[in-house]
Amino acid sequence: MRETNRGKNNTLPAAVSLRRIHKSFSGVEVLHGIDLDIHYGRVTALMGENGAGKSTLMNVLSGVHTDWTGSLLINGEGCRFGSPADAEAAGIAMIHQELNLVPGLSVAGNLFLGREPAGRFGRIDFTAMHRKARDIMDQLRFEPPVTAAVESLPVGQRQLVEIGKALASEAQVILMDEPTSAHSEREIDTLFTVVRQLRARGVAVVYVSHRLEEIYRIADTIAVLRDGRLVHIAETGSLTRADLVQQMIGRPEERFYEHEDARGDEIVLRVSGLSCRHPDVESRTLIRDISFDVRRGEILGIAGLLGSGRTVLLESLFGAAPGFLSGRVELEGELLEIGEPSFLMSKGMALLTEDRQRTGLIPGLSVRENYILAALLMTPSWAPLTTGDEEDRLAAAAEDLSISMADPGQPIVTLSGGNQQKVLLAKWLAIGPRLLLLDEPTRGIDVGARHDIYLLLSRLRRQGVSIIMTSSELDELIAVCDRILVLRDGRTAGVYVRTECTRDGILKAASG
């Protein structure tokens, strides 16, 4: 059943009109005169490759960027915001791709930051604030207490808090920049219920995502940006997937990725009875009694819902888990002393983390420095540091993964989200790993580059690299992995061979 394209006869006025928007960073123009109308009571999808300018455009609209030219009309009236607070006062809220929460504050504190309900004597009415926060977070099926510190939450749950913050602001225009990049099906369903309620209340929603199925489920209008230009706008129902991809990447979609089995006989990793106990609550385990093995050249997928233990499992293998570990892990026949990432790196293990802001990249450093970091850590301290060589390797990796950047010396935070992700992947490949642990490797990656990453994984495993990867997208796991291990509440709910599994079977196992 179609869920989209209500209100084809679009009678509601434009909430926001953007006219001839230009925006440059240090003299390089990245938005070249954008015209776009955003309507009340509709979901407008903003689509485009990594680096196309989607986040930049939303940052113009939400007062993050102030030095742009052109005009911005809200309800027909010219506006210019000096800050995000100005935009919020005008009823525009943004859910940031790279998350914009105050780590030391609680969930409720973040939701009502700057607009805390006042009680007697002008003090904050915490009871009211917690109750309101609970109501909002319940809509999003967010389980942790609203008094929990945001920094203690994994990235998927922090995304829910970001969404909650936009709801709490009661904005009339909500900009969502990849709100679900760390979410799986159930969380997406929940979010979409909320988005539909917002739309029914007349809120204008702008939605950015690299997952095309999401767009086809939720968007009324699709606007496509390419290299900083608006190249196409259409009703969702009148734009086929193939045309959409063609508009986005400027060429037809790559042929479907073909799986090939490159597994050897040798067992590279053997895990038995791996558990991770909660650091504070003795009776709770984050993952419990997990056993599996991985062969040379195999890709093992890990599926599960938000909070099922996917990330904890990878972190446990890499010795970076948030709790107490027990169990056995053998790498190429050698029993590992689990718990020391740099030791495991020297054994050829690498972990691409899901949370690029907190554990992935070093924001103050350049693209080049972030790229060589892992390889540097592995250079023995007596060895001379060579430069020059990594410049060529970075250039080759940039080519391989189509990383779009102006200059390897630019701060990594000035790359678009998807391009940051590709640099992090390249960083781990630079150590020449034998066992790659990838937590959501295609998070925020556009359709074209995603194909490049699949081909890269394929090549790696033909070279004998074994891979364990998580993904919130089941279709991706089924397309890429040899076997899929499904987690539910920290336990193994099943292991499926690629040729014998279906989406539904896995979903059922994951949700119990």
Residue 242, C-beta contacts closer than 8 angstroms, at least 6 positions apart: 252, 253
Tell me the one-letter amino acid at 85.
A
Residue placing its CB nearer to ligand ATP in the complex, 31 or 431: 31
Tell which one of 55, 59, 110, 366 touches Mg ion (CB under 5 A): 55
490 contacts ligand ATP (rule: CB under 6 A):
no
Indicate which of ligand ATP, Mg ion, none lies near residue 324 (CB less than 5 to 8 Å, by partner kind).
none
What is the CB neighbour count within 10 angstroms for residue 343?
13
Binders of ligand ATP among residues 426 to 485 (CB under 6 A) are 444, 446
Separation between Cα atoms, residue 422 and residue 410, nearest integer Å: 15
Size of the site for Mg ion (CB under 5 A): 3
Per-residue contact string for residues 91-120; x = within reach of Mg ion by CB under 5 A: ------x-----------------------
Q: Which does 179 bind (CB under 5 to 8 A by kind): ligand ATP, Mg ion, none?
A: none
Residue 30 binding target from Mg ion, ligand ATP, none, CB below 5 to 8 Å by type: ligand ATP
Compute the least distance from the CB of residue 370 to Mg ion, in Å: 18
Restricting to residues 208-227, name those near ligand ATP by CB under 6 A: none
218: exposed, middle or buried (C-beta count within 10 Å: 0-12, 13-18, 19+)? buried
Question: Smaller CB distance to Mg ion: residue 96 or 483?
Answer: 96
Interhelix angle 367-377/389-400, nearest 10 degrees: 110
Please, are residues 467 and 298 in contact by the beta-carbon 8 Å criterion? yes
CB of 56 to ligand ATP, least distance (A): 3
Please give the residues from 7 up to 66 whose contact with ligand ATP meets the rule CB under 6 A.
Answer: 25, 30, 48, 50-56
Strand partners, 226: 229
Q: Please, where are the H alpha helices in 330-473? A: 341-346, 367-377, 389-400, 417-429, 447-462
Q: Which does 56 bind (CB under 5 to 8 A by kind): ligand ATP, Mg ion, none?
A: ligand ATP
Cβ nearer to Mg ion, comparing 177 with 439? 177
419 binds, among ligand ATP, Mg ion, none (CB under 5 to 8 A by kind): ligand ATP
* Inter-residue contact 482 to 263 (CB < 8 Å): yes
Query: How many angstroms separate the CA atoms of 200 and 195, rounded?
Result: 9
Q: Shortest distance, CB of residue 51 to ligand ATP, whole angstroms?
A: 4
Q: Which is nearer to ligand ATP, 199 or 211 (CB)?
A: 211
Pairing of strands 204-208, 299-303: unpaired
Question: Based on CB atoms, which residue is closest to ligand ATP, 31 or 269?
Answer: 31
The encoded tokens of residue 75 equal 């309800």
Residue window 378-417: x/- pattern of binding to ligand ATP, with contact defined by CB under 6 A:
------------------------------------xxxx
With CB cut-offs between 5 and 8 Å by kind, which of Mg ion, ligand ATP, none does residue 472 bind? none
Place of tokens 């740099």: 342
How many CB atoms are located within 10 Å of the residue 458 CB?
A: 16
DSSP, res 309: S
348 interacts with ligand ATP by CB under 6 A = no
Least CB distance to Mg ion at residue 343 (A): 36
Helix, strand, or coil (residue 22):
strand
Nearer to ligand ATP, 37 or 446 (CB): 446
Q: Where are the beta strands (DSSP E) in 227-318?
A: 229-235, 267-277, 285-295, 299-303
419 binds ligand ATP (CB under 6 A): yes
Contact predicate 330/336, CB 8 Å: yes
Contact call for residue 417 and Mg ion (CB under 5 A): yes
Q: Is the Cβ–Cβ distance between 228 and 30 less than 8 Å?
A: yes
Comparison of 27 and 114: residue with beta carbon closer to ligand ATP = 27
Among the listed residues 184, 185, 140, 186, the one whose alpha carbon sits nearest the alpha carbon of residue 165 = 140
The reply to whether 84 sits near ligand ATP by the rule CB under 6 A is: no
Cβ closest to Mg ion, residue 97 vs residue 275: 97
Lookup: tokens for 375:
């390889």
Residues that bind Mg ion (CB under 5 A): 55, 97, 417
Binding site for ligand ATP (CB under 6 A): 25, 30, 48, 50-56, 97, 414-419, 444, 446
